[in-house]
Amino acid sequence: MKLYNLKDHNEQVSFAQAVKQGLGSQQGLFFPLELPEFELTDIDAMLEMDFVSRSSKILSAYIGDEIAPHQLAERVKTAFAFPAPVAKVSEDISCLELFHGPTLAFKDFGGRFMAQMLSYVSGADEQITILTATSGDTGAAVAHAFYGMENVRVVILYPQGKISPLQEKLFCTLGGNIETIAIDGDFDACQALVKQAFDDEELKKAIGLNSANSINISRLLAQICYYFEAVAQLPQEKRNQLVVSVPSGNFGDLTAGLLAKSLGLPIKRFIAATNANDTVPRFLQGGSWTPNATVATLSNAMDVSQPNNWPRVEELFRRKTWRLTDLAYGAVSDETTEASMRELADIGYISEPHAAIAYRLLRDRLQEGEFGLFLGTAHPAKFKESVEAILGQALPLPQALADRAGLPLLSHAMQADFAPLRAFLLKA
């Protein structure tokens, strides 16, 4: 697989390099040089396959001969060890539930596949240290994805006392190759420490520093697979009238959906659904890119006003000669998000703010004869406090979370100072 840097098309790298490097020069995103397409008959046959076999075929179409198909299939099997069920919400709307993995969010698919790919391309005796800062959720997905992996040490920094107790339990109780540090400071202080570490060439070399960045191409490729899985679960008559609504922040999930369509998956239309951070809806409406200051909303994981993946969306539309005017969009206020969560609860489906935004736009925009699917990106229990307050009912914890809640925290405590962090990272 060859990929090029969107900021410098002459910078071309292999899949292995793109996975290791994350970003190209000038912080440019990598994008596939070839855009594979399946024949319609292939798609039909693939929709009959099981999730792991089908996903291996999809990923192989992109990655090509850099990884032997049987080795890729082994890795996919390890990464995608949990289901992505389509749950019926109403007669013409269902939810693709992406929260049945170990950290109860769609990030488990991308994170676990990236972990598999990074260990594959890094060579048997190469030691890697993954250093990342988290404000809560990313840390859990990264920790669980790399847990128990040989030659990989994971160090996660988080702001002490500023993440929820449940979030902390989810990734600070693992031990083994996962080390967590509670920093006496805020999230920005944690990020600044990570940045300092990446600026330290000597340290970088000594410990094989890598960021497990969310912009990594392997994460995006993994996410394509669950769009196919969704269509595979639908009855034949619904497959050709499918509208998919994607709760969007950094627009990775939407990019993956569009890449699935580009492979030939029959998706009639996508809806890009945002909260009040509506740079993309305003751009699609008026044609000018004018990000406002980010505002805090109920769907906080989508509080992004300069979405990282948007250049990939534009590039795909350009390469496929699709029209951006065919991309549906909308922005939903917190008030309407709450009303939508209540509406869903009334029809028997408990959801959380991110998915509720996608649901709302879908039910507003769906036309006669169409079938709608929205992405359930996180388990409602991950947003327990707000969901319980909005719905006025208690939410039981899923077993995996309940089990972790009783385990002791294994975190180290540290001042927001680079010297002790550097010493910590260098210790064998």
Ligand X SMILES: Cc1ncc(COP(=O)(O)O)c(C=O)c1O
Cα–Cα distance, 311 to 304 (Å, whole number): 15
Choices 43-51, 163-171, 226-234, 244-252 (CB under 6 A): range interacting with ligand X? 244-252
Among left, alpha and beta (phi > 0; psi -120 to 50; other), residue 184 is beta
Q: Which three-class secondary structure state does DSSP give residue 104? A: coil
Least distance from ligand X to the Cβ atom of residue 321, Å: 24
Choices 25-33, 61-69, 247-255, 391-399 (CB under 6 A): range interacting with ligand X? 247-255
Q: Which three-class secondary structure state does DSSP give residue 119? A: helix
Phi, psi of 155, deg, nearest 5: -125, 120
User: Contact between 213 and ligand X (CB under 6 A)?
Assistant: no
User: Contact between 253 and ligand X (CB under 6 A)?
Assistant: yes
Site string for ligand X, 281-320 (x = CB under 6 A): --------------------xx------------------
Least distance from ligand X to the Cβ atom of residue 363, Å: 18
Considering beta carbons, is residue 73 or 362 the nearer one to ligand X?
A: 362
Considering beta carbons, is residue 57 or 354 the nearer one to ligand X?
A: 354
Is residue 345 a contact partner of residue 388, using CB atoms and an 8 Å limit? no
Least distance from ligand X to the Cβ atom of residue 254, Å: 6
Measure Cα distances from 268 to 53, 280, 368 in Å: 25, 20, 13
What helix, strand, coil percent values describe the chain, rounded to 5?
50, 20, 35
Cα–Cα distance, 137 to 389 (Å, whole number): 21
Q: Total number of residues binding ligand X (CB under 6 A)?
A: 14
Among 102, 249, 257, 330, binds ligand X (CB under 6 A): 249
Least distance from ligand X to the Cβ atom of residue 279, Å: 12
Choices 26-34, 71-79, 125-133, 245-253 (CB under 6 A): range interacting with ligand X? 245-253
Identity at 310, one-letter amino acid code: W
Nearest to 257 by CA among 246, 249, 247, 273: 246
Cα–Cα distance, 389 to 385 (Å, whole number): 6
User: Contact between 248 and ligand X (CB under 6 A)?
Assistant: yes
Least distance from ligand X to the Cβ atom of residue 377, Å: 3
Place of tokens 């699935």: 260
Considering beta carbons, is residue 247 or 372 the nearer one to ligand X?
A: 247
Phi, psi of 399, deg, nearest 5: -55, -45
Least distance from ligand X to the Cβ atom of residue 258, Å: 12
Considering beta carbons, is residue 350 or 414 the nearer one to ligand X?
A: 350
Give alpha helix (H) positions in 14-164: 15-21, 40-47, 51-63, 69-79, 107-121, 137-146
Cα–Cα distance, 413 to 411 (Å, whole number): 7
Cα–Cα distance, 95 to 377 (Å, whole number): 10
Choices 4-12, 52-60, 251-259, 277-285 (CB under 6 A): range interacting with ligand X? 251-259
User: Contact between 252 and ligand X (CB under 6 A)?
Assistant: yes
Least distance from ligand X to the Cβ atom of residue 20, Å: 22
Is residue 243 a contact partner of residue 271, using CB atoms and an 8 Å limit? yes
Question: Taking CB under 6 A as the criterion, which residues in 165-204 touch ligand X?
Answer: none
Considering beta carbons, is residue 245 or 411 the nearer one to ligand X?
A: 245
For the record, the structure tokens of 83 come out as 């289901």
Among 341, 362, 378, 390, binds ligand X (CB under 6 A): 378
Site string for ligand X, 335-354 (x = CB under 6 A): -------------------x
Cα–Cα distance, 421 to 230 (Å, whole number): 43
Question: Which residues is 378 bridged to in the sheet?
Answer: 105
Site string for ligand X, 353-372 (x = CB under 6 A): -x------------------
Considering beta carbons, is residue 101 or 421 the nearer one to ligand X?
A: 101
Choices 70-78, 192-200, 248-256, 326-334 (CB under 6 A): range interacting with ligand X? 248-256
Strand order in the sheet with 128-133: 209-210, 128-133, 152-159, 178-184, 412-415
Question: Which residues is 157 bridged to in the sheet?
Answer: 133, 181
Site string for ligand X, 128-167 (x = CB under 6 A): ---------x------------------------------
Choices 37-45, 171-179, 250-258, 402-410 (CB under 6 A): range interacting with ligand X? 250-258
Least distance from ligand X to the Cβ atom of residue 399, Å: 20
Is residue 58 a contact partner of residue 109, using CB atoms and an 8 Å limit? no
**Number of Cβ atoms within 10 Å of the Cβ of 99:** 24
Least distance from ligand X to the Cβ atom of residue 245, Å: 12
Binding interface with ligand X (CB under 6 A): 105, 137, 247-253, 301-302, 354, 377-378
